[in-house]
Amino acid sequence: MSGDKSYMNKHLWELDQELFKIIQDEKSRQKEGLEMIASENYTSLSVMECLGSCLSNKYSEGLPNARYYGGNEFIDKIETLAQKRSLATFSLDATEWGVNVQPYSGSPANFAVYTGIVEPHGRIMGLDLPDGGHLTHGFYTPQKKVSATAMFFEPLPYKVDPQSGLIDYDQLAQSARLFRPRLIIAGISCYSRVLDYKRFKQIADDCGAYLMADMSHVSGLVAAKVIPSPFDYCDIVTTTTHKTLRGPRSGVIFFRKGVRLVKPTGEKVLYDLENRINAAVFPGLQGGPHNHQIAGIALCMAQAQTEEFKNYQQQVVKNAQALCKKLQEHGYNISAGGTDVHLILVNLKSVGLSGGKAEFILDEVNIACNKNTVPGDASALNPSGIRLGTPALTTRGMKEQDLYKVADFIDSTVKLGLEIQKKSGPKLVDFKKVALEDFKDKIEKLKNEVKEFALRFPLPGHDNY
Closest CA to 116 of 134, 130, 129, 102: 102
Cβ proximity of 460 and 45 under 8 Å: yes
Q: What is the side-by-side order of every strand in the sheet holding 123-125?
A: 97-100, 251-256, 236-240, 210-214, 183-187, 123-125, 154-155
Active-site position among 137, 217, 242, 290: 242
Residue 431 CB contacts under 8 Å (≥ 6 apart), including other chains: 357, 360, 417, 420, 421, 424, 425
* CA-based radius of gyration for the chain: 23
Buried b (16+ CB within 10 A) or exposed e, 422-441: eebeeeeeebbebbeeebee
Backbone angles phi, psi at 147, to 5 degrees: -95, 150
Side chain identity at 59, as an amino acid letter?
Y
Contact 393, 246 (CB under 8 A): no
Residue 271 has what DSSP assignment? P
Answer yes or no: are the C-beta atoms of 192 and 343 closer than 8 Å: yes
Pairing of the two strands 123-125 and 154-155: parallel
Q: CB neighbours of 449 closer than 8 A, spacing ≥ 6?
A: 409
- Which one of 50, 134, 137, 190 is the catalytic residue? 190
- Rounded to an integer, what is the distance from CA 375 to the centroid of its chain? 20
Annotation says 242 is catalytic: yes
Distance of CA 238 to the CA centre of its chain: 11
Taking the C-alpha atoms of residue 155 and residue 158, their distance in angstroms, rounded to an integer, is 10
| Residues 14, 126: Cα–Cα separation, whole Å | 49
CA distance 228 to 87: 17
Angle between helices 197-207 and 169-179 (to 10 degrees): 20
List residues with catalytic annotation. Answer: 190, 242
